Amino acid sequence: MTRRAADGGTPLAPTRRVHVALADRSYDVLVGAGLLGDAASLDSLRAAGSAVVITNEVVGPLFLERTLRALKPRFASVFVHTIPDGEVHKTWTTLNGIFDALLARHFDRNTTLFALGGGVVGDITGFAAACYMRGIDYVQLPTTLLAQVDSSVGGKTAINHPAGKNMVGAFHQPRLVVADVDALASLPERELVAGLAEVVKYGAVLDDEFLGWIEANLSNLLDKDHGSLIHAVTRSCEIKAAVVAADERESGQRALLNFGHTFAHAIEAGVGYGAWLHGEAVGCGMVLAARLSARLGLIADDRAGRIEAVVRRAGLPVQPPHVDASVLVALMRVDKKAVNGEQRFVLLEGAHGAVVAAAPEDLVARVIDDARAP
């Protein structure tokens, strides 16, 4: 049957389906338009007694009504819990508030959590699902570009600690991811641009052809062209799905998906969570990682320049904030890729490759300081 827009008008593009192959933890990522209000998007879910939608005070008014319309025919009861908006609230306090709400209403293991929002909502909902009664099902309903292409897929859940971003969490795979590009229409430009950082990341480290497509279609993505967004989200999820299937718990290849993130997490903590969006920090972090790769002789200057050019064209920052380099270097020591206290970075290597390797702290600090030069 041809799916049509909610107003019955223009036929919608066919839904794309990306499979994340993890044996009994396998699931699909659905990418398309008009999916949030479509009950058929949930057909793969097992029968469950209760649904709990976790959203925030910004996303709820925009997408909650259509989400509930899809959920209510399928669940005996549907409950909504709203959390504060922003990275600064990805904390134990917010997580405990979710547990309090679930326990107060006697929700049992036959309950599915639905994360309706961006990366913060997805991360904290996933972590709540991993912990509540030692693990219950959850579904990702990402409403930002960054969440659709990255954080909703792969089962990494967490909250922040003052000493580092995402330092307390668990691997817990969702049962389904529904990425509705219609949700991106209301996304502020800053949030859209932040999401493009993760799209660029996939091309930069794992698919040079995709990077070329991004360079050619960047203006369409910034204009929120439906077809371009669907392709960008689908291809990003395909790349991530393949990596996660091969390395679910980040012991090898999956670490490459952290390109730019060692710098980025330090930037976010250094300026205070929420001052820079995660994608903004990743954009800058990729530029710094590319420069570090060149300084180490792993790549030619033109490959580093290509990364900086696409990051700049996307509207992402290419210069680090005015936080002392020694502070940022110290924050990197608690990065999850560190081994025996030694910093490790995802670095570009050769014409198209990438590698996880150590780098001297003094060189890292010089790269940060040099990037501030006009």
Name the token pair of 166.
Answer: 């995402």
- Which one of the listed residues 175, 261, 306, 344 is annotated catalytic? 261
Distance CA 148, CA 229 (A): 10
Q: What is residue 121's three-state secondary structure?
A: helix
Sheet holding 137-142, edge to edge: 16-20, 27-32, 176-180, 137-142, 111-117, 50-56, 77-83
Residue 201 CA, chain-centre distance (Å), reads 11
In which element (H, E) is residue 57 found? none
- Which one of the listed residues 87, 238, 250, 280 is annotated catalytic? 250
Distance CA 141, CA 60 (A): 12
Closest by CA to 210, choosing from 202, 198, 220, is 202
- Which one of the listed residues 254, 291, 295, 303 is annotated catalytic? 254
Distance CA 263, CA 198 (A): 14
Name the token pair of 107.
Answer: 């929700």
Q: Residue 295's beta-bridge partner residues?
A: none
Is 19 assigned a catalytic role?
no
Could you give the C-alpha distances from 225 to 127, 220, 230, 371, in angstroms and in order? 33, 5, 9, 33
- Which one of the listed residues 66, 90, 172, 278 is annotated catalytic? 278
Percent composition of the chain: helix, strand, coil (DSSP 3-state, to 5): 50, 20, 30
Distance CA 365, CA 355 (A): 20
In which element (H, E) is residue 70 found? helix 60-71
- Which one of the listed residues 90, 172, 231, 265 is annotated catalytic? 265
Residue 223 CA, chain-centre distance (Å), reads 21
- Which one of the listed residues 66, 240, 291, 306 is annotated catalytic? 240
The amino acid present at 25, given as its one-letter code, is R
Is 254 assigned a catalytic role?
yes
In sequence order, which residues have a C-beta less than 8 Å from that of residue 67 and are 6 or more positions away? 36, 37, 53, 114, 116, 141
- Which one of the listed residues 258, 268, 306, 344 is annotated catalytic? 258
- Which one of the listed residues 46, 106, 134, 322 is annotated catalytic? 134
The amino acid present at 373, given as its one-letter code, is A
- Which one of the listed residues 198, 238, 268, 308 is annotated catalytic? 198
- Which one of the listed residues 89, 90, 156, 175 is annotated catalytic? 156
Is 349 assigned a catalytic role?
no
Is 250 assigned a catalytic role?
yes
In sequence order, which residues have a C-beta less than 8 Å from that of residue 1 and are 6 or more positions away? none
Distance CA 99, CA 362 (A): 44
**Active-site residues: which are they?**
134, 156, 198, 240, 250, 254, 258, 261, 265, 278
